[in-house]
Amino acid sequence: MRRPKITDLRATTVTVPLEAPLRHANGAHWGRFVRTIVEVETDTGLIGLGEMGGGGESAEAAFRGLRSYLIGHDPFELEALRFKICNPTASLYNNRTQMHAAIEFACLDICGHTLGVPVHDLLGGKVRETVPFASYLFFRYPDAQGRHEVRSAEQLVAHASALKQQYGFTVHKLKGGVFPPAHELACMRALGAAFPDDKLRYDPNAALSVEEAISFGRAIEDLNNDYYEDPTWGLNGMRRLRRDVRIPLATNTVVVNFEQLAANILDPAVDVILLDTTFWGGIRPCIKAAGVCETFQLGIAVHSSGELGIQLASMLHLGAVVPNLAHAADAHYHHLLDDVIVGGKLRYENGAIAVPKGPGLGVALDRAKLAEYAELYREVGGYPYDRDPGRPGWYPLLPNTDWADPNAVP
Ligand code: MG
């Protein structure tokens, strides 16, 4: 085996349509995702694939700016890569965690292709063949044809039923924090009545005050809850909630690095840590964090910050190797209309996706799709994720005190 050396990297922004705009506490995904596809080239002819959320000129330039750090680097030297790019004290002056994650995916992809093994074999080996996923339910604006709106409890239950039938989900997560808590409580109770045997999650992106979160939590305690995700902001807020609500608390906001994980172990505020291969800086940091959680018997799950197939592959390899994955993973993936990988979107079966078996990440770039969605990005540009297209000028306070009107027809 000849050890590869990195010779170049390339970042391409794409935008891929969603079935309909997805609403959340801070604004919306305006009917598509914007993602950066990263290709790391080597002197052995292999090209590794990475992916990061967002994109545009500045993101592409930031990746180009890492060339001098990466050219000549051996992709197998992953710990060295971490300190080259995001040494924790140097990172006070930059914010490269997410870029490091995309490059780590690509390096692991190269290592796997070099050795002819899937990435999970480089990470301890898989302990499961498939990774279960939750349905990720959003309140939605209608699409351009006026279809697919989700605003009422009836629309939400119909949407969840359709997803369950199509994909086999047995866990349902509602992304809330859009409408007044009383409306979203009615929606959760409607889901509970419609799917009494399925698990439920509620995640309002920390939009509730501590007191609202306590009363909401108490009002859903009798449902078949998987966990209660970031109902309010902050470790101290979550700690107060944990005393007063008998549902496991989960977070992808207040424990997203090792310092915060240490703080949460010394003085627990959260029970389930949602590991995001981008937010934590790669698949390997997530595995390290999963090991800490295993030691201290905290729960884990795999978080979704929006993904195309490359990022999804990173989540599948993570989910494959962590023994303590007792909760289904999250993915926005089923809301997408297409992907940039060869063969189109990865498929769900019985609410799960098979762990890729091919070498590396096990997904290949469809260059025609990459070109198509890069062109679409050039045509339509980005969108402000933290603004709501239906509420011009509005921005959320934390906790939110100005909810959307559930009766307003868009
Ligand atoms: Mg969340």
Q: How far is the CA of 112 from the centre of ligand 1 (A)?
A: 31
Q: Give the residue-averaged pLDDT of 28-42.
A: 98
Q: Give the confidence band of 87 by pLDDT, cuts at 50, 70, 90.
A: confident
Q: Are 14 and 55 in contact (CB under 8 A)?
A: yes
Over the chain, what is the mean pLDDT? 97
Percentage, residues of the chain above pLDDT 90: 97
Say how far apart CA 7 and CA 43 lie, in whole Å: 6
CA angle, corner 24, sides to 20 and 25, nearest 5?
160
**Residue range 393-403, pLDDT digits in tens:** 999 999 999 99
Helix (H, G, I), strand (E, B) or coil at 311: helix
Ligand 1 centre from 305 Cα, in Å? Answer: 9
Helix ranges (H only) for 19-86 are 57-64, 67-70, 78-86
pLDDT level of residue 93 (50, 70, 90 thresholds): confident
> Start-end ranges of CATH 3.20.20.120 in the chain?
121-354
CA distances from 77 to 3, 5, 280 (A): 11, 10, 18
Q: What is the pLDDT of residues 340-391, one digit of tens each?
A: 999 999 999 999 999 999 999 999 999 999 999 999 999 999 999 999 999 9
In angstroms, the CA 287 to CA 280 distance is 10
Q: How far is CA 91 from CA 82, 88, 104, 283, in A?
A: 11, 5, 17, 19
Is 175 among the catalytic positions? yes
Are the C-beta atoms of 9 and 38 separated by less than 8 Å? yes
User: CA nearest 50: which of 102, 120, 108?
Assistant: 102
Which tokens is 291 given?
Answer: 């090991």
The Å distance, Cα 212 to ligand 1 centre, comes to: 17
For the chain, give every residue range classified as CATH 3.30.390.10: 6-116+367-380
- Choosing from 29, 159, 172, 175, the catalytic residue is 175
Count of beta carbons in the 10 Å neighbourhood of residue 347: 9
| pLDDT of the residue at 409 | 81
CA distance 14 to 311: 14
Tens digit of each residue's pLDDT (9 = 90 or more) over 113-169: 999 999 999 999 999 999 999 999 999 999 999 999 999 999 999 999 999 999 999
How many Å lie between the centroid of ligand 1 and the Cα of residue 252? 5
339 Cα–ligand 1 center, Å: 23
pLDDT of residue 94: 80
How remote is the CA of residue 250 from the centroid of ligand 1, in Å? 8
Q: Which of 100, 120, 303, 332 is catalytic?
A: 303
Contact at 8 Å (CB) between 22 and 335?
yes
| Mean pLDDT, residues 224-240 taken together | 98
pLDDT at 410 over 90: no
Give me ligand 1 centre to Cα 205, in Å.
6
- CA separation for the pair 270, 235 (Å, rounded): 8
Q: Is 205 exposed, middle or buried (0-12, 13-18, 19+ CB in 10 A)?
A: buried
* pLDDT for res 95: 85
> Class of the 6-116+367-380 domain?
alpha beta
Lowest mean pLDDT among 55-59, 87-91, 263-267, 373-377: 87-91
Contact 139, 21 (CB under 8 A): no
Q: Which helix H or strand E contains 211, and what residues bound it? A: helix 210-219
Q: How much is the pTM?
A: 0.98
> Tokens for 69?
């750090």
Q: 121-354: which CATH topology?
A: TIM Barrel (3.20.20)
